[in-house]
């Protein structure tokens, strides 16, 4: 049975290290020394050396380093195509040739600063390793190849790396050496400041999948105290958000669909419909759009999945930016209302198509402005660009707020947010009369997934904003939205509890007496649970009963017929006339398929009208 010795210490004020030496005779060998005059810790075995210095590390011999992939970092295509590969493994002296094959060399020595280790690898934790074994070949390049073959598959797939479960990691790796006299050396490096920032963000975000202003101030203060740069902050935040269980399920499905599209070389209409629905679900589940944008960049960039000429809206954007900012030096630099409206519409099209070339054009234009001003151009050039950025920021703010109001439950909007929305509306309507409605409202009402409460809230918002412009107090709009929000919350809670009561106690609830008894019990239960303060409005209770009846009819009568006959028309007729939200019906369908062990692919086909 193997034994291990562990050495723990700290370099500077933020880098923590753990040195683990594993082997059957680990206790009988001298494996480290401290060079006092240089403040170095040297870990060694015959032919191998690893030095931890105040500013970084150096190494020579065999081995390499590994860490858990952070979400969104660049990965080799071979790793990206295999969802079970979750860790990065780099061997000293290894290079990839033009054909994608790995070549090893005897030049395995090197050095890295701590800053670069946590920048290029994992922001929090990275592992280094080397092996002493008489069964390895004499030449280093052959040793490296042999170690990859014996350890690589497990190291790249082990969940113990990200979880930092060192005991499990050692027990997985050491037996693979198949040499009882071997010694395995593992050095774990941790950035304590990064870990503290990540853990704080994770604890705050996991409460309710959002960060309050006060909590964000704590994060900003911590980052400033430890001088954590913005890139590292963003990496850790995105990675933590991705790993939230409810986020990870939807994002992984999005990733798997894109991987399948890559293997086929195209995005089919069905695939695109699935991707779009997942994006819609992400809004409903408070999943940051940055997670999807990152996947789009990773999996679409350079792969030419869709071969087409430049989209009209991109061409129009390029024309405005090139003409105004870059090429037309002899005319006054300004953007008129028509130009601005074209840019905003182009932004809208780019968002709908998940096309990030628009953002890239804006980034390139921003860099060009900075360079021209640095080289002596009129600083007023940046004023015109700031005007553009302000409008595009307005678009993002309004689009996000209206989408949340339309598709998410229990969204609370303050009077300050409504005041800001009113200012944005005035700015857009200043470009063109009715522009606000055209950009944010009109197409929304055509969305099949817009539920009845979402429709009511958006309608109330638009009517209320128009009323405020005519002189009504904004407090009245705020009160109206709060009333709808409260009604939506009660309706959701009521549906859950009434359905549960009927399932367990009231197999028949057709008579008025049964319904009154059911109502009294539900009201009492909700008040005891502090989910309800007043009585349930009559119309909400009757709507709930009616919803459950329609749900039962669909599940027990219509859905089996739809599945058997693949009758898409019958399904659409029910969706259009039942008054039930499409999200709600699709969740019922999913539960029905899972409960009855049916293939979900058949459900996807029915939803898209494919037979």
pLDDT over 90 for what percent of the chain?
40
Low-confidence ranges of the chain (pLDDT < 50): 307-308, 326-333, 610-611
Backbone angles phi, psi at 186, to 5 degrees: -125, 130
Half-sphere exposure of 526 (CA within 13 A, CB side): 24
Percent helix, strand, coil in the chain (nearest 5)? Answer: 60, 10, 25
Beta bridge partners of 191: 15
> Which pLDDT value is given to residue 322?
63
438 membership: H or E segment, kind and range: none
Beta sheet of 15-23, edge-to-edge order? 3-11, 15-23, 183-191, 125-132, 64-68, 87-91
What are the tokens at 534? 């007043």
> Which pLDDT value is given to residue 333?
44
Whether 121 and 113 have beta carbons less than 8 Å apart is answered as no
> Which pLDDT value is given to residue 611?
41
Q: What is the largest CA-CA distance in the chain?
A: 91
What are the tokens at 207? 């409460």
Cα→Cα distances 414→286, 381, 453, 468, Å = 18, 36, 18, 15
What are the tokens at 473? 């107090």
Cα→Cα distances 483→486, 488, 538, Å = 5, 9, 16
For the chain, the average pLDDT equals 85
pLDDT tens-digit series, residues 434-483: 999 999 999 888 888 888 888 999 999 999 999 999 988 999 999 998 88
pLDDT tens-digit series, residues 150-191: 999 999 999 999 999 999 999 999 999 999 999 999 999 999
The number of beta carbons lying within 10 Å of the beta carbon of residue 317 is 24
Is the full-model pTM beyond 0.75? no
537 conformational bin, left if phi > 0, alpha if psi -120 to 50, beta if neither: beta
Q: Which residues contact 270 (CB under 8 A, 6 or more apart)?
A: 604, 608, 610
> Which pLDDT value is given to residue 507?
53
Half-sphere exposure of 487 (CA within 13 A, CB side): 18
Whether 173 and 127 have beta carbons less than 8 Å apart is answered as no
- R_g over Cα of the chain: 30
232 membership: H or E segment, kind and range: helix 230-242
Whether 268 and 230 have beta carbons less than 8 Å apart is answered as no
> Which pLDDT value is given to residue 329?
42
Q: DSSP per residue over 462-481, as a string?
A: HHHHHHHHTT--HHHHHHHH
């Amino acid at each position: 049975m193997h034994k291990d010795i562990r050495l723990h210490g700290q370099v500077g004020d933020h880098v923590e290290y753990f040195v683990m030496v594993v082997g059957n005779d680990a206790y009988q060998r001298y494996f480290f020394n401290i060079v006092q005059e240089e403040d170095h810790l040297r870990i060694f075995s015959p032919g191998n050396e690893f030095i931890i210095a105040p500013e970084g590390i150096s190494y020579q011999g065999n081995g390499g380093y590994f860490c858990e992939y952070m979400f969104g970092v660049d990965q080799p295509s071979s790793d990206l195509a295999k969802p079970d590969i979750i860790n990065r493994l780099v061997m000293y002296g290894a290079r990839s040739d033009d054909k994608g094959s790995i070549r090893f060399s005897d030049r395995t020595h090197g050095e890295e600063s701590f800053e670069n280790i946590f920048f290029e690898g994992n922001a929090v934790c990275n592992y280094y390793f080397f092996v002493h074994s008489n069964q390895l070949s004499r030449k280093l390049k052959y040793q490296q190849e042999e170690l990859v073959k014996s350890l690589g598959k497990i190291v790249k797939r082990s969940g113990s790396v990200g979880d930092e479960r060192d005991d499990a990691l050692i027990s997985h790796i050491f037996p693979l050496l198949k040499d009882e006299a071997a010694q395995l050396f593992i050095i774990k490096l941790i950035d304590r400041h990064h870990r503290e920032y990540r853990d704080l963000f994770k604890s705050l975000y996991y409460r309710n999948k959002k960060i309050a202003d006060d909590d964000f101030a704590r994060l900003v203060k911590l980052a400033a105290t430890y001088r954590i740069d913005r890139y590292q902050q963003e990496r850790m935040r995105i990675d933590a958000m991705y790993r939230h269980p409810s986020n990870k399920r939807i994002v992984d499905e999005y990733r798997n669909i894109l991987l399948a599209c890559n293997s086929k070389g195209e995005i089919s209409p069905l695939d695109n419909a699935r991707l779009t629905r997942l994006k819609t679900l992400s809004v409903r589940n408070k999943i940051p759009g940055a997670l999807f944008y990152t996947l789009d960049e990773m999996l679409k960039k350079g792969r030419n999945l869709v071969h087409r000429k430049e989209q009209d809206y991109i061409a129009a954007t390029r024309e405005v930016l090139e003409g105004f900012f870059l090429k037309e030096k002899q005319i006054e630099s300004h953007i008129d209302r028509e130009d601005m409206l074209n840019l905003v519409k182009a932004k809208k099209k780019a968002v709908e198509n998940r096309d990030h070339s628009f953002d890239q054009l804006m980034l390139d234009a921003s860099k060009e402005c900075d360079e021209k001003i640095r080289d002596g151009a009129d600083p007023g050039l940046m004023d015109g660009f700031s005007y553009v950025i302000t409008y595009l920021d307005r678009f993002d703010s309004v689009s996000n707020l209206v989408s949340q109001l339309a598709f998410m439950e229990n969204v609370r909007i303050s009077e300050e947010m409504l005041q800001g929305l009113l200012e944005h509306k005035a700015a857009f309507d200043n470009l063109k009369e009715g522009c606000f409605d055209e950009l944010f409202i009109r197409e929304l009402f055509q969305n099949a997934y817009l539920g009845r409460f979402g429709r009511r809230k958006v309608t109330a918002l638009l009517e209320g904003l128009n009323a405020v412009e005519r002189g009504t107090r904004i407090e009245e709009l705020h009160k109206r939205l709060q009333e709808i929000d409260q009604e939506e919350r009660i309706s959701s809670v009521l549906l859950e509890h009434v359905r549960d009561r009927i399932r367990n106690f009231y197999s028949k609830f057709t008579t008025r007496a049964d319904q009154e008894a059911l109502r009294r019990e539900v009201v009492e239960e909700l008040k005891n649970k502090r989910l309800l303060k007043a009585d349930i409005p009559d119309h909400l209770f009757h709507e709930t009963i009616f919803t459950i009846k329609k749900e039962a009819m669909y599940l027990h009568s219509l859905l089996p017929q739809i599945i058997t006959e693949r009758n898409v028309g019958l399904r659409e007729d029910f969706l259009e006339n039942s008054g039930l939200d499409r999200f709600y019906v699709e969740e019922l369908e999913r539960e029905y398929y899972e409960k009855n062990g049916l293939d979900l692919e058949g459900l996807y086909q029915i939803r898209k009208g494919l037979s």
